[in-house]
Amino acid sequence: LAKITQPISMDSYEGQEVNITCSHNNIATNDYITWYQQFPSQGPRFIIQGYKTKVTNEVASLFIPADRKSSTLSLPRVSLSDTAVYYCLVGGGQNFVFGPGTRLSVLP
């Protein structure tokens, strides 16, 4: 299973773009990279998933370099409601592991 590291916390201001990086040096060939968002007293919620290069949806972008040993979640123009913990998940099938999570605080 991949060993995952993420920054413990990040601060940002409303309207800014936020990039959260996840390191997964021993990612396996078949592993996917997924990001989840969690608010207090709720279960995590899926944000985006990718395998390589770039993936974009209506809320975020995911950048994965060619070696796939890291990935970056990009949140455009964050708002106060984006204050949450963001988890990187690496793996596939029944073999996967969550990272420690990054606590993002968005300030007015």
Partner 1 sequence: ETGVTQTPRHLVMGMTNKKSLKCEQHLGHNAMYWYKQSAKKPLELMFVYSLEERVENNSVPSRFSPECPNSSHLFLHLHTLQPEDSALYLCASSQERPAGYGYLGEQYFGPGTRLTVT
* Footprint on this chain of partner 1 (rule: CB under 8 A): 28-32, 34, 36, 41-46, 49, 87, 89, 91-94, 96-101
Q: Which is nearer to partner 1, 43 or 108 (CB)?
A: 43
Report CA-CA distances (Å) from 14 to 1, 7, 75, 77, 79: 36, 20, 11, 7, 5
Smallest separation (angstroms) from partner 1 to the CB of 14 = 27
Query: Could you write out the DSSP letters of every residue in 28-84?
Result: -TT-EEEEEEE-TTS--EEEEEESSEEEE-SS-EEEE-TT-SEEEEEESS--GGG-E
Q: Which is nearer to partner 1, 3 or 77 (CB)?
A: 3
Smallest separation (angstroms) from partner 1 to the CB of 92 = 3
- Residues 69, 23 contacting (CB under 8 angstroms): yes
Q: Which is nearer to partner 1, 24 or 99 (CB)?
A: 99
Smallest separation (angstroms) from partner 1 to the CB of 23 = 14
Output the six-digit token pair for 72: 């970056």
- Other CB atoms within a 10 A radius of the CB of residue 21 amount to 16
Q: Which is nearer to partner 1, 42 or 81 (CB)?
A: 42
Smallest separation (angstroms) from partner 1 to the CB of 108 = 27
